Structure 1
Amino acid sequence: MSHRNAIILILIAAVLWGTTGTAQSFAPSSAHPVAIGAIRLAIGGIALLVLVVIQGKFYIRNWPKWITFLAALAMAAYQPLFFSAVLWTGVAVGTVVAIGSAPILAGIMEWLFYRIIPDRRWWLATILAITGCSLLVSNDQAVAISPLGILMAVGAGLSFATYTLFSKKLLEQHHSEVVVAVVFTLAAILLSPILLLYDFTWLLQTNGITVALHLGILATAIAYLIFSRGLIRTSAATAVTLSLAEPLTATVLGMVIVKENITTQILPGLILIFTSLVFLSFRKSS
């Protein structure tokens, strides 16, 4: 696979992730965001596990236990951390801190663990994308800053960066579909206690199960499988920055499908993110 094709795969995955917010808007009002995140992970993990079992590729030998566990723990932690951050500090601040901190943290972690220093092109693309994200979620209302919410948002960004970094390490030894299946199944198991804390009767409604299946299969199982395949040929830092196509997609879908209000900051925000992705996509090396 070429580097350019890998970038395309990661962008496709980010677009699929970008459908999450719009899909959730169609869920029953009784569906708590954290509960949606937990069931999304459970469905995605089961779907991926069934896939590799049918393909005859599933195995549990020769897995680096700590790296596998940390990747799964990071994925399990992301859902409650992100949704709790949004609950404590609001959608705007929570989203910007979580999504904006992930590329920076991925770059720092890649330097600490593998001594890979992101180049100037990556830094410029990341700064442009984070600025664009800030514009997308900014509004004229007063913003309440919660230290705990900020901490949870940074934790969510760290979780995604950690998942990406350790998944890339696992991909050096195992097939992408097996890596995603094992990590997500373990993550779903780690997150299973949440099933005892929330009401899941909304899954009995047509729109509830439809949203859950969309999020679990399309926006999780398929999206992360595609992301992992692209990750093989890109650095973790680059992959996380490219994933900022997610808020771009979410914003466009929100305007077109959910009919959300368009503010004066949205258009330049979209342009900045799009520019950063194009700029990073045409780099010569990973």
Structure 2
Amino acid sequence: MEKHYQLGIFAIVIASCFWGTTGTAATFANGVHPITIAAITMGVGGCLLALLSIGAIKLDHLLLRCHWQLIIIGSLSIVVYPLAFYSAMHLSGVAIGNVVSIGSAPLFTALLERIFDKQQLSRRWRISAGLGLSGVALLSFAKAEIVGEPMAAQSYWGIGLGLLAGLSYATYSWVGHRLIRCGISARAAMGSQFGLGGVLLLPILIFTYSTVIHSTQSLAVGLYMAIVPTVLAYKLFGYGLSKVKASTATLITLLEPVIATLLAVTIVNEIIGLQGWSGMGMILLSLLVIIWPASTVRSKQEI
């Protein structure tokens, strides 16, 4: 049991590393609107994920039909998430938009589990969440200070969209875990949600695809965003959801802004200063708290 739990944690960590590359990758898609990036990432990527999961979906089609309401909720959340996420970064800046979206997701997921699953939050989770969210705040303000982004009215709209992205991300993560608990395989649970969500996002490309194909570089970025941070990452994330609670999974994904910042420092030559490095240290410490092997069966069940 402990081995499977650790493998689930490892899968989510790798997925978070893939997601952390999206901000840097998007900077190479010059002239491509954030809405278009969203449609490619989750639209094309979601359809590819569904196609790769078609065998599992067929095997579990009866169970999927029984839980069609959950699949619709998850799929609509998948539609909302990229549109809100990339718009939040466009309006309030990459630093604040990314951190608000990812940082709020664990709290929303915990709230969903508390309301619908009647699950209690362990002391371990609360300590990890406190460290992680404090680190996210330090990292966000450090980056915002260096970039020099003024807190204009559009920034507040960006923060609002970031919270919406966090809620939608938490929702489809919780739905995926709920479907898996109902006996549906991880591949079928994620593939069905992303397939329907991807189909709903594809029409956006009909009106905006020209901004992607105008250069080989933008097209390469689009293919990367669809395959690596979506297909590969969400297959790993789905496996992780089959081993750990959704609130724990979204907490681990706080690693994403750390990876995004490290890439910005090494590739985009951004400087974050001592405050930013301190924030990253707190996030890594929070991950150490949540992934450290449980010493008893009871603590494993609480996580």
TM-score (norm 1): 0.92
**Contact 1:121–1:283 (CA<8 Å) still a contact in 2?**
no
The DSSP-based 3-state class of the residue aligned with 2:273 is: coil
Deviations 1:51-76 (A, max 9, x none): 234xx334243311110011111111
**Contact 1:35–1:200 (CA<8 Å) still a contact in 2?**
no
Deviations 1:107-147 (A, max 9, x none): 11100011111112111211211221222222333423554
Where do 5+ consecutive residues of structure 2 fail to align?
A: 295-299
Q: Aligned to 1:81, which of 80, 84, 91? A: 84
User: Compared with structure 1, are the counterparts of its residues 22 and 91 closer, same or farther at alpha carbon in structure 2 (3 Å cutoff)?
Assistant: closer
Displacement of 1:202 after TM fit?
A: 2.2
Quick check: which one's helix share is greater? 2
**Contact 2:75–2:193 (CA<8 Å) still a contact in 1?**
yes
Displacement of 1:4 after TM fit?
A: 1.3
Q: Which amino acid aligns with 1:90?
A: G
User: Compared with structure 1, are the counterparts of its residues 202 and 193 closer, same or farther at alpha carbon in structure 2 (3 Å cutoff)?
Assistant: closer
The answer as to 2:7 corresponding to 1:5 is yes
The DSSP-based 3-state class of the residue aligned with 1:264 is: helix
2: CA distance between counterparts of 1:269 and 1:125? 13
TM-score (norm 2): 0.87
Alignment partner, residue 97 of structure 2: 94
Q: Aligned to 2:180, which of 167, 171, 174? A: 171
Superposition CA RMSD, Å? 1.8
User: Compared with structure 1, are the counterparts of its residues 166 and 15 closer, same or farther at alpha carbon in structure 2 (3 Å cutoff)?
Assistant: same
2: CA distance between counterparts of 1:222 and 1:125? 27
Alignment partner, residue 129 of structure 2: 126
Q: What is the number of equivalent residue pairs in this alignment?
A: 283
Alignment partner, residue 152 of structure 2: 144
2: CA distance between counterparts of 1:148 and 1:253? 26
Alignment partner, residue 281 of structure 1: 291
2: CA distance between counterparts of 1:58 and 1:119? 34
**Equivalence map 1:19-30=2 (5 Å):** 19-27=21-29, 29-30=30-31
1: CA distance between counterparts of 2:264 and 2:16? 15
Q: Which amino acid aligns with 1:226?
A: L
Deviations 1:245-275 (A, max 9, x none): 1111111111112222232322101111111
Q: Which amino acid aligns with 1:259?
A: N
Q: Which amino acid aligns with 1:38?
A: A
User: Compared with structure 1, are the counterparts of its residues 127 and 283 closer, same or farther at alpha carbon in structure 2 (3 Å cutoff)?
Assistant: farther
Where do 5+ consecutive residues of structure 1 fail to align?
A: none
